[in-house]
């Protein structure tokens, strides 16, 4: 009985293997994932803000590649000026969980947060004219007092805690508050530096010399050790295939789903759509005011 069972199992396995070959299931794919736009915690949609790179979008694309047994390596086609520091960190955390080789192919500009999410890839490929680097952090505190005066807006502020209104945008920061804010900025800057140290296998002293916030061309970045190779997408695909031990890779391009106009409007909801239309009629001053008041805390950014 055991012998019959073994024979049946063997035949089944042979049939499955034959079916896999006949159906073209060959484990030699390189997945190309396009990451284009500023880095934000939430995607703003293609209709009212253009492409963005959000942790949710990146997670969905990576899950697809991780769960596909035919995909042996991943190429990230990155085009980004950077953005939210927290979102950049979340995206990098997701990339570090992927066990398949990852190669970054840089486009025109891959700066600040764009470089942050690229730094720990197995290989980075940049075009000679790519602008990259911009390793640093910026935290902007608006002071709307002059605008309030111009618009005739008066405010009365009540706080519990002496620094509670420091980011309300209604006054200048005190010397003590400027120190507090600089300490926050320095800490997030140090986090960026450590990512580059670990990802690029450079000394901290060397990275700090490079981390002035300035941009580098692809040629300069290669000389400085910030990227590995010069070339385009094909070069990145070849590198990814080599890392995965693939001689003749099959390329699969992951394309984001573009929602229809109706889906976008339904997703926004009538009230939100009404708010968008109202914002468009506010003018520059009104938009600045609304944006500041709707985001009461400063957002450290790798941009």
Instruction: Please give the full DSSP string across 232-265, using - where no structure is assigned.
Output: -HHHHHHHHHHHHT-SSPEEEEE------HHHHH
H helices within the chain, ranges in order?
A: 2-22, 55-67, 85-96, 113-118, 145-151, 175-200, 204-210, 218-224, 233-244, 261-268, 270-280, 283-294
Q: How far apart are CA 249 and CA 264, in angstroms?
A: 36
**Nearest CA to 134 among 198, 99, 69, 88?**
88
Q: How far apart are CA 126 and CA 103, in angstroms?
A: 11
- In sequence order, the 6+-apart residues with CB closer than 8 A to the CB of 292 are 142, 144, 169
Cβ atoms of residues 103 and 81 within 8 Å: no
| Angle at the Cα of 268 from the Cα atoms of 287 and 52, rounded to 5 degrees | 70
Which residues, listed in sequence order, are joined to residue 248 by a DSSP beta bridge? Answer: none
Q: How far apart are CA 106 and CA 119, in angstroms?
A: 11
Cβ atoms of residues 302 and 89 within 8 Å: no
**Nearest CA to 237 among 108, 117, 125?**
125
**Nearest CA to 257 among 60, 31, 37?**
60
Positions annotated as catalytic residues are 112, 164
């Amino acid at each position: 009985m055991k012998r019959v069972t073994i024979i049946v199992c063997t035949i089944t396995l042979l049939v499955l293997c034959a079916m896999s070959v006949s159906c073209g299931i060959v484990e030699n794919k390189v997945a190309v994932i396009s990451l284009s736009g500023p880095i934000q915690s939430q995607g703003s949609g293609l209709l009212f803000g253009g492409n963005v790179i959000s942790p949710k979008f990146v997670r969905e694309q990576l899950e697809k590649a991780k769960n596909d047994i035919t995909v042996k390596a991943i190429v990230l086609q990155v085009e980004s000026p950077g953005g939210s520091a927290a979102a950049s960190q979340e995206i990098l955390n997701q990339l570090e969980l992927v066990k398949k080789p990852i190669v970054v192919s840089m486009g025109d500009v891959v700066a600040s947060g764009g470089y942050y999410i690229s730094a720990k890839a197995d290989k980075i490929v940049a075009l000679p004219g790519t602008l990259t680097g911009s390793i640093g952090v910026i935290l902007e505190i608006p002071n709307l007092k002059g605008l309030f005066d111009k618009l005739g807006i008066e405010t009365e502020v009540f706080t519990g805690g002496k620094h509670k209104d420091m980011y309300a945008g209604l006054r200048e920061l005190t010397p003590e508050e400027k120190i507090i804010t600089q300490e926050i900025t320095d800490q997030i800057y140090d986090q960026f530096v450590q990512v580059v140290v670990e990802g690029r296998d450079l000394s901290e002293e060397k990275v700090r010399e490079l981390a002035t916030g300035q941009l580098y061309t692809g040629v300069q970045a290669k000389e400085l050790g910030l990227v590995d190779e010069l070339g385009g997408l094909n070069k990145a695909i070849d590198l990814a295939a080599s890392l995965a031990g693939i001689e003749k890779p099959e390329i699969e391009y992951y394309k984001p789903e573009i929602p229809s106009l109706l889906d976008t409007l339904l997703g926004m909801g009538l009230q939100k759509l009404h708010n968008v239309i109202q914002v468009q009629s506010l003018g520059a001053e009104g938009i600045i005011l609304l944006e500041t008041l709707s985001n009461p805390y400063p957002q450290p950014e790798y941009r």
